[in-house]
Structure 1
Amino acid sequence: MAHAVTPILEMIRAERGASADVSRSVPKRIAALVPDDAIGPARQVTALARALQSDGIECLVVVFHRRGRPPSRCAHYLRKAGVRYCVVEDRGPVDWRMALRVGALLRRWRPSIVQTHGYKATALAYLLRRLRHPWHWIGFCHGVTTENLKGRFYHWVDRWLLGAAERIVVMSHARAQAFRHCGSRVRVIYNAALAPPSAGNPAEGDRLAALAGTLRRPIIGVVGRLSPEKGVDLFVEACAVLARKGLAFSALVVGDGHERARLEARCSDLGLASCIRFVGQVHNVDVVYRHLDLVVLPSRSEGLPNTLLEAIQADLPVVATAVGAVPDAVGTSAAAHLVPPGSAAVLVEAIERALIQGDSPEAALARREVVSRFSLERRVEAHVQLYRELLEERTGVTAACVESPAR
């Protein structure tokens, strides 16, 4: 994948002229701090780091792994991509000894720029900067989870501490409004449309394929974390209406989370236990997409969901709520059927219309255009421009405002 990315540094040299000293305006080393349970951001960081490495920027990804949990999927992605990484043990929400371990790592690595993803990475960067660590800090805000009071508190802390970062990167213009008090330090850089991941687990792939073979077509899929903001409860209610209307279909709910037990109980109450299958967390997501006929994103809130981009990359019809950067990605094109959030009734109408009308050449072309606009090349270019801006500020060079070119 990395070799397909346009060499960004060569592009910069061409733009600025052969005599320009580019080496002073791009970092030689960066580091990214990532929690291992943030799978979407981890995949984006992995793809970005691999592409940057191919352009001569050394990257170190520091993965926070909670003690007692299964091996890190984030580390698996990094290892498979050939990206340099280090796993730091996380012993709990207030394990401030992590600051010593991460601080020592960064002193040895000596990055010009540190990127943070998630509340703990934000808190550590905030503390280390207070201790006079010399690197630039770019803080990322990917989205908000609302599954419980603890999660909401962590996101409040994250947003408050991100105000100290030199740059704040968000996934949508809607999310940028939460940081409007930070002025020109806020940037919108969209996720890249990456191919769905394959964990290389043949047994899991065979199990998923066998399950799909027993289900009635068409198969509708919801892929993602099972928490309130993802709106899977609305999808369940919509499925109940579709079943009562006599529409023949099956559904797969792929993912795990605090809401799973409640959602399964609701399916049982509605008589949908044989129609909607909960398959839990899946590593071979590519196998799932190969067996779906329609992907539904019923979210109440989002940044720019990886599931949307993965489904479009997999050339699948999509029904999605118009939240976060979803309208930015799809616009008024036929790439997806967009509906207002928060209503099972509008989901019913959109799903029914998508299944009855079927796919079209126009929709397939629109999906290819989305994949092109949200390419990894464009994401890398936006990042390198942002790095240049930070480094040039230190040398007194006026920097231009940066926004992802995927528009």
Structure 2
Amino acid sequence: MAKRNDVEVTLQSLFKFEPEMKKWLLPQVKVKPFFGFYFHGFAKIADLIPDEIFYRLLVKDHYDIEIGFCMEMPEKIIAASNNRNSRKYAWIHGYDEGLKLLSTYQKMDKVVTVSKCNEERFRKETNGMIPVCCCHNLIDDHRVCTMGQELIPVMRGPELTFVVVGRLEPGKGVLRLIECCGRLKQEGEQFALWVIGDGEERKKLEKRADELGLGANVRFLGAQSNPYA
């Protein structure tokens, strides 16, 4: 991908930002964490702050383009922008079932999805009234394959092994996966599940795995700097 030296990007994370992630960013990307910490349920507390006030607290400079990435809180904050000269985008990483944020999308210049399927679905469900486009996730295949060759400090056994990588949050469906593993256990199957990642649901997932007697089957390996390996 060609590098643009005439573009400055400010990445403002609402909660935590791991310092080691900076090494993956280009020099023109400035990182400005807002809260800088997170605990279970904090997002619900932060959501009580009016979006207009949240925007004024978060955004101190004037930008040409403002993007609310992921879903819900970031989009609502950008929709409350008082910068009349900026273009505003809602970047949906997934899909907003039932279009709960429809009034938010109506304030955006464009909605961006990560799949053509979701682009067409959004266009159909909004009757084409809101501009939408698709931008696939950018993946460096060569780098992924190279990093995948690194050795890992975890040994796998002879049993069938599943692995899930991602943020441990409700939208990822890991709790449902744990429930499925409970059924496999009841049916006498020999298997292992590696859970790579961290997030607000981790303690809940660990507790449910214990309740289902999956202590010997499920391993929570936490966030990994190289999940590809």
So what's the TM-score if we normalise by structure 1? Answer: 0.42
Cα distance, 1:235–1:97 mapped onto 2, change above 3 Å = closer
For the 8 Å contact 1:220–1:251, the answer to whether it is kept is: yes
1:98 corresponding residue in structure 2: 58
Letter in 2 for 1:222: V
Residue 302 of structure 1: aligned partner: none
One-letter amino acid of the structure 1 residue matched with residue 75 of structure 2: T
Q: Which has the higher helix share?
A: 1
Identify which of 166, 170, 175 aligns with 2:109: 166
Task: Kindly provide the CA deviation profile for residues 25-60 of structure 1, in whole angstroms up to 9, marking residues without a partner as x.
Answer: xxxxxxxxxxxxxxxxxxxxxxxxxx452xxx7332
The 5 Å alignment of 1:186-225 reads 186-195=132-141, 209-211=152-154, 213-225=155-167
| Structure 2 counterpart SS, 1:183 | coil
Q: Does the 8 Å CA contact 1:256/1:281 hold for their aligned counterparts?
A: yes
SS at match of 1:219: strand
**C-alpha deviation, 1:277, in angstroms:** 0.4
Output the CA distance in 2 between the equivalents of 1:187 and 1:218: 40
CA deviation after TM superposition for structure 1 residue 114, in Å? 4.4
5+ residue gaps, structure 2: 36-45
Q: Does the Cα contact within 8 Å between 1:60 and 1:83 map onto a contact in 2?
A: no
Long gaps (5+) in structure 1: 3-50, 147-154, 288-407
Task: Give 2:57's aligned amino acid.
Answer: R
Q: Conserved in 2, the CA contact under 8 Å of 1:176 and 1:188? A: no
User: Does the aligned pair in 2 maintain the 1:145–1:227 contact within 8 Å?
Assistant: no
Work out which of the two has the higher radius of gyration on C-alpha atoms and give 1 or 2.
Answer: 1
The aligned residue for residue 141 of structure 1 is: 92
Structure 1 264/71 Cα, relative in aligned 2: closer, same or farther at 3 Å?
A: closer
1:189 CA displacement: 3.0
Residue 132 (structure 1) aligned to one of 60, 81, 84: 84
Q: What residue in structure 1 maps to residue 18 of structure 2?
A: 71
**How much does 1:120 deviate?**
5.2
1:220 shift after superposition? 0.9
Alpha-carbon distance in 1 for matches of 2:3, 2:128: 28
SS at match of 1:241: helix
SS in 2 for 1:266: helix
Measure, in 1, the Cα distance between the counterparts of 2:96 and 2:201. 12
C-alpha displacement of 1:85: 0.9
Query: CA contact under 8 A between 1:227 and 1:258: conserved in structure 2?
Result: yes
Kindly report the root-mean-square deviation, in angstroms, between the aligned alpha carbons of the 2 structures. Answer: 3.5
State how far apart, in whole Å, the 1-side matches of 2:200 and 2:80 are: 30
Alignment of 1:6-405 (within 5 A): 51=2, 53=4, 58-66=6-14, 69=16, 71-72=18-19, 74-78=21-25, 82-91=26-35, 94=49, 95=54, 96-99=56-59, 101-103=60-62, 106=63, 111=64, 113-118=65-70, 119=72, 121-128=74-81, 130-133=82-85, 135-143=86-94, 156=100, 159-172=102-115, 173-174=117-118, 176=122, 180-181=126-127, 183=129, 185-195=131-141, 209-211=152-154, 213-287=155-229
Distance in 1 (CA, whole Å) between partners of 2:17 and 2:68 is 23
In the alignment, is the contact (CA less than 8 A) between 2:123 and 2:130 conserved in 1? no
Q: Evaluate the alpha carbon distance shift between residue 225 and residue 131 of structure 1 in structure 2; reply closer, same or farther with a 3 A threshold.
A: closer
Task: Tell me the CA shift for residue 63 of structure 1.
Answer: 1.3
RCO higher in structure (CA 8 A, sep ≥6): 1
